[in-house]
Structure 1
Amino acid sequence: MNSRQGALLRALLEASDYRTSADYARRLGCSDRTIRTDVKALNAFFEHEGFATRVGRQRGAGLRLSLVPDEENRLVRLLEESETEMHPRYERLCQEMIALTCHPGPHTAESLARRMFRNKQQIQSDLRWWQGMLEVSGLSLSVGRQITVEGPEWTIRGFVMSMLFSFSTAAVRRRILPSLFGTIDPYDRQFLERCIAEMQRDLGFEFSSNAQWQFGVYLCIMVTRIRLGHGLTSWRGADGATPFFAYLKKRLERHFSLAVSDAEMGLLRDMAHCCTWQWSLAAMEAYEPGERARAVTDDIASALENAFGLPLPEDLRKPLAILFESGLARRTCGLVAPNPNEEAVKYETMDGACLLASVLCEVPSLVEADLFSPDYARIALVLLDYLDQAGALRCYRVGLVVNCGIDLALWGAHRIEKLTSRLKVTDVLTENEVLAAVERPNSTLLERFDFLVSFEPLDVDFPSVTVSPGVSRSDVDHIIASVPLWRRGREVHTAWERGTLSVGSSPESLFGSLHERLSADGLIDMPPARFERLVWTLSVVKDRTLVFAWCGSGVRRTGIRIYRLEEGEGAECGQCTMAAVLVAAPGDRADLTPLTQGFKRLVEDYADTSDLVSDDGFFVCFPEPE
């Protein structure tokens, strides 16, 4: 059972009803055919492991897990165990970086080969890969008689933390941390745990369990780096130490018999804020964001009200301020905390994300903060509900066509509007009324609707979607996926082209090539630096395709481009093999839903959404270059 099949099994366990293979394919970023193949593999796995559970299929309804009740816990345990497995090369690369940054040197290819139980040629190949990866983050790998990671100390620590956060917690704890903790005595680790407990009491709330282990990992890295002679000598805000951190500084010096600078404590304080991005309601009530965070939240609220006419609800202000403050701390520390919802925000809800971006990316104080992409997505996620409240996204007028009793008619209308705010049932019609309106040339009946929904297929030349009498969540998902391709009863045709793009090995090379091609095609007119920052902030990597959508200033006309990336001479293969771009002119904001849905259809049809991740590009969540 590979990682994709494990993800499919988890999705099947979570589903309460039948869902189509297309639904699972969209969720996992693969094809329907792949899902069907994975279902066969899962059933073969169940049989081999002695499970009576099977994945069943029902024509017209989709897939559902036929779960034997007493086998559920065993399946969940198997999934948890599978999440601790890592690709052998991923594990080796992580172990190499831990050795280079947290173990005494000198380091050579020979010493690393002995430590990793690998041959020298494998290590040399890995080192060439690391040179390119570190360069993206403003670091370098010096390879000569000795091998060292060079760059600002706080950047090195943020890079190592980001590397560890890019994998599942279970995998890191089981496969990677033992080599890091090997540098710390168990008694010392217990002392650090006590320090974390004291810090929580001083801050006034408890960290989540995940945040506790993240912060514990950073403390181990900090102590190890200081012991190796790589302590911080300067840090922004280091002169504003609180009484608690001044006291903690003395405790660390006394326990470990080493000198801890004020700069170290300044970074430690910021790291404490970085590790508190998982909050309870009580924690939010107790915490008071700083002046800058509150000011930026006010700027965002003002910009949103000017754009959409609805004041930002008061209950969203503090979460926004907290997200901004923790994101700013991560930017300062160079620490990228992966956001598991980033693809859901930027791809699944692309129309809302584009609409928000057209406002947020023009707020000067937020632009100046230059947050990492995952932290920007966290802010956007909080504001998606605000868009629904403001009615900023178009609501489609539905004509519900029935040939049944009044109970089913009322049930269908209720379910459609309850399951999504994007649809409004403006009238319930009989099939005979629709057929009569179609036959009369001067009838204006259908002008009141954007499309029709019926329980049986309609023989009419008007946009319509057929759903089941149950009007399940999958039925509404089917409506949303199908209908936005129509605009006011007509199919949307957005100009699009396919082509190839020559790129180098760095992200900047890709962004530069995209900017040059889109400008030459007359789609955009903006400075390269602004375009690069928009791509860094708004794009998402979907399997092996970079997906970028922007609707706002700097777009001359709406268009879609899908490029296959060709590496230039000397460039190594990267993670992305394709780039898909949608740029929408500000005048087309009202039709973002059909534009983005049509764009996603093209991405799924033509872009590379395979789940084959090359050994040369498995980290996607590292700091963007300054």
Structure 2
Amino acid sequence: MNSRQGALLRALLNAGDYKTAGEYGRELGCSDRTVRSDVKALNAALAREGFHSHVDRQRGAGLRIVVVPDEENRLVRLLGEAEAEMHPRYERLCQEMLALTCHPGPHTADLLARRMFRNKQQIQADLHWWQGVLELSGLSLSLGRYLKVEGPEWTIRGFVMSMLFSFPAPAVRRRILPSLVGSLDPYDRQFLERCIAEMQRDLGFEFSSNAQWQFGVYLCIMVTRIRLGHSLAAWRDAREPGPFFAYLQKRLERHFSMTVSDAEMGLLRDMANCCTWQWSLAAMEAYEPTERARALADAIASALADAFGAPVPDDMRKPLAILLESGLARRGCGLVAPNPNEEAVKYEAMDGACLLSSVLAEVPALVEADLFSPDYARLLLVLFDYLEQVGALRCYRVGLVVNCGIDLALWGAHRIEKLSSRLQVTDVLTENEVAAAAARPGSALAERFDFLVSFEPLDVKFPSVTISPAVSRADIDHIIASVPLWRRGREVRTAWEQEVLPVGPSPEGLFAALHGRLVDEGLVDMPRERFEWLLWTLSIVKDRTLVLAWCGPGVRRTGIRIFRLEEGDGAECGRCTMAAVLVVAPADRGDLTPLTQGFKRLVEDYADTSGAVNDDGFFVCFPDPE
């Protein structure tokens, strides 16, 4: 199963219903014929793995995956386990970095080539690529007689952890970690497992299975680096490590016959916090966040209360403080933990994310904390429920138009409101009532409804959306996607342009070019440092397009720009070939839902969604190594 076939399988699982080969081809950046060939390969691969599920082809309808009961979880697990195999170049890069940081040297290109079973020229090309990537994290790779990763020790460890966490855990366990844990004998690995079990008993709750393996990976890296002579002499947090970590320090020294500094235990404690971000209710109840995390959560809650006129519920504050503490620890350790919900938060729920960000991005303590983008998205995810409770997002008045029995009318109204809190059915009308109201001068429809929903197309000029009698989740998504219709039947339209933007080869070059163009066109007026912070924190990479939506201070007028990125001589800018930006003036904050829906429609119509794009968040912003 190659990367394109894996992406097709994932798309089929997400779609559920029939879609044509052409639709999948546009989504994956290939031809209809290639999609049909990949379907045959997928069905053969599923049969070899013992699955009864298969991809069904129906003339006139398209493709759909037929999942046998009890096999869906196995399918998702199979896809996750195969991720590293689907991207062999990234697997090779991970193996190279582990060799350079966690195996005895000296290292040379020749030795690395023999270890990787590659030719020297390919390894040299990889090493030059690594130079640029490491520089973004404040590290460097010396390419003299011997190869060496140089920089602060805690940064090197955080970098390696971030690299490993960019892949699904099963793929890393099976394909990459054996080269790391191979330096430890089975007795040592069992000892580290006992240490993790003792830590859980000391904390009073169990880690999730994912948190256990993440923390186990760090323990392996820590022990390996100390054995190689790279021990921490100092750590940013001068607090005493605590009784348990003092006890663990002595155990590690005795077992491995090595000196473990207090700084190592300080970083180990912070890494424990980093790796326990998957919380059960019992874990949250038992845990007490630090004073700094609580103070930051209080500052956020105060800002939200001032902005929306309602306090943040007490039961949200502790999860918020725990997420902040984990995010602060990850920032201190240089550990980027991918957030699988980041695109759903920043893109699918763009209006809510923009509204929250217009407040959060003005909290000085949060800006100073400079959380990684995935951790910032975790805060938004927790606070979406607050927006619902205070009614901050616009609720649309829907007129349900029926030509059916009372059962379907009541069912439709119930389902619409049940499946979306953003829609309120204010009245149920017949087609004749709508036609008569629309024919009268000064029709009251515009005063009563934002738009109409019907089971059959309406022959009226008033904004309307047609759905199926099933009133399924897909129908509700169709309604939401049509939300640019609002306020007395008027459609919100935003001026937009598509342009070519010359950029530099690095993210900083891209950010500087975006800032300069938006300032020159009179859309924004803010310092470049502020704009770069917003980009690093709020943006999302969708397919091959960098997407940013911002509403708040520094925006002079609302507008949309979609840029095709070009380096010198017309070359593309690494993995991202386009950038899409929506900036909303504070005065237009009430129109965020129609503005963001219209923006996403333009992104989907005009942005670059070509090619099978992997889910490796660590690599997605960097140039393709091959």
Distance 1:434 1:189 in 2: 72
Distance 1:29 1:342 in 2: 23
Match of 1:379 in 2: 379
Match of 2:293 in 1: 293
Q: Deviations over 1:249-280 (max 9, x none)?
A: 11111111111111101000100100100011
The one-letter amino acid paired with 2:177 is L
Match of 2:551 in 1: 551
Distance 2:430 2:384 in 1: 36
Q: Is residue 19–residue 61 contact of structure 2 (8 Å, CA) maintained in 1?
A: yes
TM-fit CA distance, 1:83:
3.5
Instruction: Identify which of 38, 43, 46 aligns with 2:43.
Output: 46
Show the 5 A alignment for 1:53-68: 53-56=53-56, 64-68=64-68
Structure 1 residues 74 and 395, CA gap change in structure 2 (3 angstroms): closer
Q: Is residue 140–residue 150 contact of structure 2 (8 Å, CA) maintained in 1?
A: yes
Q: Is residue 397–residue 423 contact of structure 2 (8 Å, CA) maintained in 1?
A: yes
TM-fit CA distance, 1:53:
4.4
TM-fit CA distance, 1:572:
8.4
Q: Is residue 28–residue 611 contact of structure 2 (8 Å, CA) maintained in 1?
A: no
TM-fit CA distance, 1:611:
3.5
TM-fit CA distance, 1:86:
4.0
Secondary structure of 1:85's partner?
helix
Distance 1:305 1:447 in 2: 31
Q: Is residue 102–residue 180 contact of structure 1 (8 Å, CA) maintained in 2?
A: yes
Match of 1:242 in 2: 242
TM-fit CA distance, 1:66:
3.4
Q: Deviations over 1:131-169 (max 9, x none)?
A: 000001110111111111111000000000000000111
Match of 1:85 in 2: 85
The one-letter amino acid paired with 1:200 is Q
Match of 1:224 in 2: 224
TM-fit CA distance, 1:589:
0.6
Structure 1 residues 374 and 478, CA gap change in structure 2 (3 angstroms): same
Secondary structure of 2:484's partner?
helix
TM-fit CA distance, 1:91:
1.4
Structure 1 residues 74 and 183, CA gap change in structure 2 (3 angstroms): closer
Q: Is residue 402–residue 428 contact of structure 1 (8 Å, CA) maintained in 2?
A: yes
2:27 aligned with 1:30: yes
TM-fit CA distance, 1:183:
1.4
Q: Is residue 8–residue 28 contact of structure 2 (8 Å, CA) maintained in 1?
A: no
Q: Deviations over 1:60-82 (max 9, x none)?
A: 99865434558768756643553
Q: Deviations over 1:355-389 (max 9, x none)?
A: 00000001111111111100000000111111111
Secondary structure of 2:443's partner?
coil
Q: Is residue 3–residue 612 contact of structure 2 (8 Å, CA) maintained in 1?
A: no
Distance 1:256 1:44 in 2: 49
Query: Which sections of structure 2, spanning at least 5 residues, go unmatched?
Result: none
Secondary structure of 1:358's partner?
helix
Secondary structure of 1:30's partner?
helix
TM-fit CA distance, 1:508:
1.1
2:114 aligned with 1:117: no
TM-fit CA distance, 1:311:
1.4
2:476 aligned with 1:476: yes
Q: Deviations over 1:373-426 (max 9, x none)?
A: 000000001111111111111111111111111111111111101100111111
Question: Structure 1 stretch 41-50 or stretch 150-159: which is displaced more?
Answer: 41-50
Question: Structure 1 stretch 44-53 or stretch 99-108: which is displaced more?
Answer: 44-53
Question: Structure 1 stretch 271-280 or stretch 250-259: which is displaced more?
Answer: 250-259
Match of 2:310 in 1: 310
Structure 1 residues 369 and 70, CA gap change in structure 2 (3 angstroms): closer
Structure 1 residues 408 and 483, CA gap change in structure 2 (3 angstroms): same
The one-letter amino acid paired with 2:497 is E
Distance 2:484 2:440 in 1: 27
Match of 1:456 in 2: 456
2:369 aligned with 1:354: no
Question: Structure 1 stretch 550-559 or stretch 52-61: which is displaced more?
Answer: 52-61
Match of 1:412 in 2: 412
Distance 2:67 2:111 in 1: 51
2:392 aligned with 1:392: yes
Distance 1:133 1:234 in 2: 26
Distance 1:74 1:166 in 2: 21
Structure 1 residues 289 and 616, CA gap change in structure 2 (3 angstroms): closer
Q: Is residue 419–residue 473 contact of structure 1 (8 Å, CA) maintained in 2?
A: yes
Distance 2:468 2:256 in 1: 67
TM-fit CA distance, 1:118:
1.1
Structure 1 residues 577 and 218, CA gap change in structure 2 (3 angstroms): same
Distance 1:460 1:95 in 2: 63
Structure 1 residues 38 and 390, CA gap change in structure 2 (3 angstroms): farther
Distance 1:90 1:11 in 2: 22
Secondary structure of 1:393's partner?
coil
Match of 1:513 in 2: 513
Show the 5 A alignment for 1:53-202: 53-56=53-56, 64-69=64-69, 75=75, 78-79=78-79, 81-202=81-202
Secondary structure of 2:401's partner?
strand
Match of 2:281 in 1: 281
**TM-score, L = length of structure 2:** 0.93
TM-fit CA distance, 1:292:
1.1
The one-letter amino acid paired with 2:468 is S
Question: Structure 1 stretch 583-592 or stretch 72-81: which is displaced more?
Answer: 72-81
Q: Is residue 29–residue 610 contact of structure 2 (8 Å, CA) maintained in 1?
A: no
Secondary structure of 1:237's partner?
coil
TM-fit CA distance, 1:571:
8.5
Match of 2:441 in 1: 441
Show the 5 A alignment for 1:4-15: 5-6=5-6, 9=9
Match of 1:566 in 2: 566
TM-fit CA distance, 1:462:
1.3
Q: Is residue 485–residue 595 contact of structure 1 (8 Å, CA) maintained in 2?
A: no
Q: Is residue 166–residue 616 contact of structure 2 (8 Å, CA) maintained in 1?
A: no
TM-fit CA distance, 1:504:
1.3
Match of 1:265 in 2: 265
Question: Structure 1 stretch 332-341 or stretch 32-41: which is displaced more?
Answer: 32-41
TM-fit CA distance, 1:530:
0.6
Question: Structure 1 stretch 465-474 or stretch 45-54: which is displaced more?
Answer: 45-54
Distance 1:619 1:444 in 2: 54
Q: Is residue 485–residue 598 contact of structure 1 (8 Å, CA) maintained in 2?
A: no
Structure 1 residues 354 and 34, CA gap change in structure 2 (3 angstroms): farther
**TM-score, L = length of structure 1:** 0.93
The one-letter amino acid paired with 1:364 is P
- Percent identity reads 79
Match of 2:345 in 1: 345
TM-fit CA distance, 1:331:
0.4
Structure 1 residues 473 and 582, CA gap change in structure 2 (3 angstroms): same
Number of residues of Structure 1 aligned to a counterpart in Structure 2: 619
The one-letter amino acid paired with 1:490 is R
